[in-house]
Amino acid sequence: MTATKKTTTRKRASTTKKVTATKPKKVVAQKIPDLPKNPFAYEVLDAASKMRSKANKVEVIRRYGDNSLKAVLIWNFDESIVTLLPEGEVPYGSNLEDETKTGTLSGKIDDAVSKMNELGSSSLGSQDQGQTTIRKEFTKFYNFLKGGNPGMSSLRRESMFINILQGLHPLEAEILILVKDGRLTDKYNITKDVASEAFPDIVWGGRS
């Protein structure tokens, strides 16, 4: 008697992968932040810088900017402007201060800003309460530019700039130090195009 072999049929595993449809990610529109009345220049620039779209950056500056912020942006972005202040670090005001304090005024301001960043705050308490603001001081900016006040001596000009810095909130002082060297974009994500749209009355060029 011959035994018959039992044959079994194996089903092949399916090689077709089940494709799961991915849902498109929802893009959440950024809300224009609420700032206090008469905000500091750094508050406006910081809020605008954090906006993802150009349109929102422009809207923040339009809503909260003023002539002082316009002056800051012109000073930084207008290539025809020649700054008469020395480039780089800003020293302390007088020889006496230079002897009693180490480092530079720029370094002191940088330290204060770094401390604020560590604390996640724009305040260090009583030690950073500025006596003045860019809003109040911007009318003096012409003294620091070629053609603005040619009769002013370099020493007087630099002393005036240092005095203004020492009276400002550290984050506002930092803005002026950046702007005098055309380096505002080192910290703030703001472009000349944004400035132009926010302040359409700006005419670039012919300032020196």
What is the tens place of the pLDDT at every residue in 38-56?
999 999 999 999 999 999 9
The label of the residue with tokens 């132009």 reads 196
In a domain, 191, yes or no: yes
Residue 19 lies inside a defined structural domain of this protein = no
Cα–Cα distance measured from residue 179 to residue 185, given in angstroms and rounded to the nearest whole number? 9
Q: Report pLDDT for 119.
A: 72
Query: What number is the average pLDDT over the span 177-206?
Result: 97
Q: Give the whole-angstrom CA distance, residue 20 versus residue 18.
A: 6
In a domain, 30, yes or no: no
Please state, in angstroms and rounded to a whole number, the distance separating the CA atoms of residues 200 and 24: 37
Tell me which of 63 and 122 has the higher pLDDT.
Answer: 63
For 64-84, the pLDDT digits (tens) are: 999 999 999 999 999 999 999
Distances (CA, A) of 113 to 35, 116, 175: 20, 5, 11
Tell whether the model's pLDDT for residue 194 goes beyond 70: yes
Sequence-ordered strand ranges (E) for the chain: none
Side-chain-side CA neighbours of residue 2 (13 Å): 2
pLDDT digits (tens, 9 = 90+) for 109-140: 778 778 877 777 665 444 455 689 999 999 99
Angstrom distance (rounded) from CA 13 to CA 10? 9
Q: Which has more confidence, 98 or 92?
A: 92
Q: In this predicted structure, what is the pLDDT of residue 26?
A: 67
Residue 167's pLDDT band (cuts 50, 70, 90): very high
Residue 204 lies inside a defined structural domain of this protein: no
In a domain, 32, yes or no: no
Distances (CA, A) of 163 to 7, 108, 136, 157: 99, 14, 13, 10
Of 55-64, 104-113, 165-174, where does the model show the most confidence? 55-64
Tally of domains in the chain: 1
